Amino acid sequence: MLRGTLTLLTAALSVAAMAKPTRLGEPSYLPDAAASRIVSVTESGTAAAGITVLTEAVAVKETGPRATVARFGEVYAFAPAFVAVHRDEPTEISFWNLQPDDDHDFMLVDPDSNVLMKVLLPALQKTTYVFTFHEEGLFTFYCTMHQPEMSGQILVLPIRSA
C-alpha cells in the first residue's frame, strides 16, 4: 500500500512539475473549474480565519552543519507543516518565503493525489491566498523544488457548527 502511494505521489509530482513549472518567470496556476469544486482559491477576499506559513532553512550551505549538507543537501521545511481548517470557511493563508536566495513553490493535491494548484513563492516575498475548501479530508502540499522534506498537510474538518 505504501509503495503504491509513493509511486502515485512521485508520478503526480513529476507530471505537475513538467506540465506547469513555477520557477521564477514561469507560470503558476490556481484551481481550474473542476478543481474549484474541491477548493476555491482567490488572491483577495474576506476570510473567517487566517494563518501564516513560513519557509524555513533547516540546513543550508551557507550556515548549516557541513556533514548534514554533504549528506542530504540543503534542507527546507514549511512551518507549520500541518494546518486544520473548516469546510466552506474562507481561510487566508499567507506564505512568507524568508530565504533571500531561494525560491519555493506551493503545490496542493487532493486526497486522491490530483494536483489542484501550483504557485511560486519568490524569495523574500509574502504571497497570500484565500482558500475555501468544499470537501473534507486530508490535503497534502509540497514545494516541488525541495523534495522529499518540504511538505505538509491541510486537514479539512466538517462545517463549524453555529
- Average of pLDDT values for 32-43? 96
pLDDT at 75: 76
Domain that holds residue 107: 2-157
Instruction: From residue 69, give the alpha-carbon distance in Å to each of 56, 57, 60.
Output: 15, 11, 7
In a domain, 134, yes or no: yes
pLDDT at 36: 95
CATH number of the domain to which 72 belongs? 2.60.40.420
- Average of pLDDT values for 72-88? 89
In a domain, 63, yes or no: yes
pLDDT above 80 for 92? yes
Kindly report the pTM of this predicted structure: 0.79
Distance from C-alpha of 77 to C-alpha of 141, rounded to nearest angstrom: 11
CA–chain centroid gap for 76, Å, is 13
pLDDT above 90 for 25? no
pLDDT at 26: 57
In a domain, 162, yes or no: no
In a domain, 45, yes or no: yes
In a domain, 106, yes or no: yes
In a domain, 83, yes or no: yes
User: Could you tell me what percent of the chain has a pLDDT over 90?
Assistant: 62
pLDDT at 65: 62
For the chain, give the number of residues: 162
Q: If pLDDT is split at 50, 70 and 90, which confidence band does 56 have?
A: confident
In a domain, 64, yes or no: yes
The number of folded domains in the chain is: 1
In a domain, 57, yes or no: yes
Which region among 14-18, 51-55, 141-145 has the lowest average model confidence (pLDDT)? 14-18
Find all residues with CB under 8 Å of 52, minimum gap 6, and list them. 93, 94, 95, 96
